[in-house]
Amino acid sequence: MRRIKSPRNPKTSFLYCERYDVTESEKILVALSGIFVLGIGSQWVASRLKVPSILLLLLTGILAGPVFNLVNPGQLLGDLLLPLVSLCVGIVLFEGSLSLRIKDLRQIGRPLIMLLTVGVLITWVTCTLAAWWILDFNVSLALLIGAILTVTGPTVVGPMLQHIRPIGQAGPIARWEGIVVDPIGAVLAVLVFSVYRPVQNADFDGAAWTATVGFLKTMFAGSAIGVAAALLLIVMLRRHWITDHLQSSFTLMIVVAAFTCANLIKHESGLVTVTVMGVILANQHVASMRHIIEFKENLSVLLISSLFILLSARLELRQFEKLGWRGPAFVAFVILVSRPLSVMVSTIGAGLKIQERLFLSWLAPRGIVAAAVASVFALELAGEDKLVAATFLVIIGTVITYGSTAAWAARKLGLSVADPQGVLIGSAHPASRAIAVALQEAGVTVRLVDRNPQHLSMARMEGLSTFYGDMLSDSMHEELDISGIGRFLSMTPNDEVNSLAASHFTERFGRSNVYRLSAPPERSKRREKSAEVLKGRVLFSNEATYHYLDQRFEAGAIMKATPLTDEFGYEEFRDRYGDAALVMFVLEGDQVTVVSTDLEPVFRPGQTLIALVDH
């Protein structure tokens, strides 16, 4: 084993090692392992601290790269860096487009369409003008960074919305905008990049012609290959040519192959290809996408974590120093002028409340796609490091600003509460619907989630808010609107599913706000012990199983809301309705208490009891 001496200039090595004897291959191994460890470790720490993971990823990458010189992606990967980053961008866009369902987008209506058209155009124009005026970029580079900054960050917006839980249309619009605008902005950046050099050379006639031809070639080549790849995969899945355990890997293979083929035919059309492919797969109903959805959910965390470490480790502090005061001024313009102007103009007459428009004006963090696209273009445009520095500065500034103030802004605008009292019920069977109706009549926000279309149809006829989906699916969590919701009640007939669903929702609502029905007493001790490992407080009482509730309702029991007063207290309530009365919820002011086996509420005047009583 030969000794690797510590270089005088640590920046010339991809891993600075001073005390240990390591071979060149061992240094590469440690550096590659470090990227994965730092990326996933940052994600874990962020989840524990409940802060946006992108902040820790950026900080970790900068510390590992320009500060301590532990990782130098350019030295580590060399010529592999550009194609690797480009390929990762394609996979990230494919992952995002798999969440796009046209029927859901149509339901959101005009505000989303206007944000994706007029809003994107205004953002592009204003960011371009700011880059030209504030950052002193030339016209072509200003147009390019303006296009890149039209994207937001679904990997950042999603967790923020889960924490804020805004009420009304603002939450769904922000969630879908964050997903849809990424491929739109990326394609726009690709088209601008295709005319970058003609504009840079002051050949404006050539730029116009290049833009037109480039747009047509990019869209045609990308769309054609994307459609062909999606149809091929659908046919193979439908005819069961791919075994279940290979579906995820095979899909990744098709995505990579389609992306590469498109880029070989027309440079950067691969981004269009993977986007079109994902949209087709997300909206077809011929082949099952279950394994593919699992693939994108598992892969995205690893890919985004590692990619952010790589990209931020490439940064050099002198790049930010060169921007000087212009950098923070540009970020302030993007946050205080560009985004509010884009939202307020594009949502005129769109049926949104002013509070919702203001909230959307204060939620546009940039994320992985902006960082990756800027890095790809900067690598191809030698010497344009200021493009990356300005983009990362916007990412850092927007994530810090929105991450620390968006929840406060939502509460001030009346779109969120610090302690949401709404209830999400996992099941829409008759007993659950009766409970939901009683809560809704008492002024509590209620939403039902189920996979039974008949039960959901009956719930909607009773005026209840519903969502079709599998409670155990991670993809459902991305789409489920939990605005105003603070508690989850799992009430299916399967006690194992109830326990698993309760465990699934613990991360979103916390252990103290997740409940499940009691299991049947005849269940074996082994099953009981297995279920208790999973989370979920037991609802109402140990006797209140699924079948118990069904039998009570079939026997004529009803849900009853009873106010307690000085004259009519809890003892009088028991005298009137008897021991068979099952108190389920206690309402006091705007607070909702769910009765469970580990909580004995203190009853007093001023409360309202929602209970199951004999009619």
CATH label, 10-412, candidates 3.30.70.141, 3.30.70.20, 3.40.50.970, 1.20.1530.20:
1.20.1530.20
Contacts of 139 (CB under 8 A, 6+ apart): 132, 199
Q: Is the pLDDT of residue 530 over 50?
A: no
Q: Per residue in 153-167, pLDDT tens?
A: 766 787 777 777 787
pLDDT reported for residue 326: 92
pLDDT surpasses 60 at 367: yes
> Which residue, 443, 419, 310, is CA-closest to 39?
310
Average confidence (pLDDT) over 291-307: 71
Q: What is the structure's pLDDT at 295?
A: 63
Tokens 């679904």, located at residue: 154
Strand partners, 596: 539, 599
Radius of gyration in angstroms for the set of CA atoms belonging to the chain, rounded to a whole number: 27
Average pLDDT of the segment spanning 293-308: 73
- Both tokens of 330, joined, read 């540009």
Predicted confidence (pLDDT) at residue 524 exceeds the cutoff of 50: no
Q: What is the average pLDDT score of the chain?
A: 80
CB 462 within 8 A of CB 484: no
Task: Count the neighbouring beta carbons within 10 Å of the beta carbon of residue 400.
Answer: 16
Question: In degrees, to the nearest 5, what angle opens at C-alpha 271 toward C-alphas 265 and 273?
Answer: 65
Identify the CA nearest to 486 among candidates 586, 406, 418: 418
pLDDT at 528 over 70: no
- State residue 15's pLDDT score: 45
How does residue 411 score in pLDDT terms, banded at 50, 70 and 90?
A: confident
Find the range with the poorest average confidence among 59-68, 286-295, 598-607: 286-295
d(CA 132, CA 142) in angstroms, rounded, equals 5
Q: Does residue 105 register a pLDDT over 80?
A: no
Percent of the chain with pLDDT over 90: 12
Per-residue pLDDT at 421 exceeds 60: yes
> Per-domain residue ranges for the chain?
10-412, 422-613
User: Lowest-pLDDT range, 44-53, 127-136, 162-171, 211-220?
Assistant: 211-220
* Angle at alpha carbon of residue 327, lines to 323 and 332, rounded to 5°: 170
Q: Which of 205-214, 328-337, 428-437, 449-458 has the lowest mean pLDDT?
A: 205-214
Mean pLDDT over 397-413 rounds to: 86
C-alpha 32 chain-centroid distance: 27
Identify the bridge partners of residue 515 per DSSP, sorted by sequence position.
489, 537
Phi, psi values for residue 422, rounded to 5°: -65, 165
Q: What are the distances in angstroms from CA 370 to CA 187, 188, 272, 568, 608?
A: 12, 12, 16, 62, 51
DSSP letter at 196?
H
Contact 593, 586 (CB under 8 A): yes
Both tokens assigned to 539: 């609802």
Confidence of residue 3 (pLDDT cuts 50, 70, 90): very low
Under 8 Å between Cβ of 345 and 118: yes
Closest CA to 267 of 202, 201, 197: 197
- pLDDT above 60 for 310: yes
- Phi, psi for residue 260 in degrees, rounded to 5: -70, -45
Q: CA 592, 596, 602, 604 torsion: positive or negative?
A: positive
Does 132 have pLDDT greater than 90? yes
CA distance 196 to 190: 10
The answer on pLDDT for 120 being more than 60 is yes
Distance CA 168, CA 327 (A): 35
* 196-218 tens-digit pLDDT: 655 455 444 555 555 566 667 77
Q: 582: which residues sit within 8 A by CB, 6+ positions away?
A: 540, 541, 544, 552, 611, 612, 613
Residues near 107 by beta carbon (within 8 Å), at least 6 away in sequence:
none
Question: What is the torsion angle, in degrees rounded to the nearest 10, for the CA atoms of residue 268, residue 130, residue 347 and residue 275?
Answer: 10
- Of residues 238, 348, 249, the one with CA closest to residue 292: 249
Whats the size of the chain, residue-wise?
A: 615
Residue 431 amino acid letter? A
Q: For the domain bounded by 422-613, which CATH number is listed? A: 3.40.50.720
Q: Are 360 and 170 in contact (CB under 8 A)?
A: yes
Where does the pLDDT of residue 12 fall: very low under 50, low under 70, confident under 90, or very high at 90 and above? Answer: very low
Q: Which residues pair with 613 in a beta bridge?
A: 558
For residue 426, the cross-strand partners are 449, 490
CA distances (Å), 478 to each of 96, 365, 469, in order? 11, 18, 11
Predicted model pTM: 0.70
Are domains 10-412 and 422-613 of this chain identical in fold?
Answer: no
State yes or no: pLDDT of 532 exceeds 60: no
Q: What is the pLDDT of residue 84?
A: 82
Q: Report the DSSP pairing between strands 582-588 and 608-613.
A: antiparallel
Distance, CA of 280 to chain centre: 20
Q: Letter for the amino acid at 415?
A: L
Distance CA 336, CA 331 (A): 9
Q: Which residue has the tokens 């490091």?
A: 385
Rounded average pLDDT over 211-235: 83
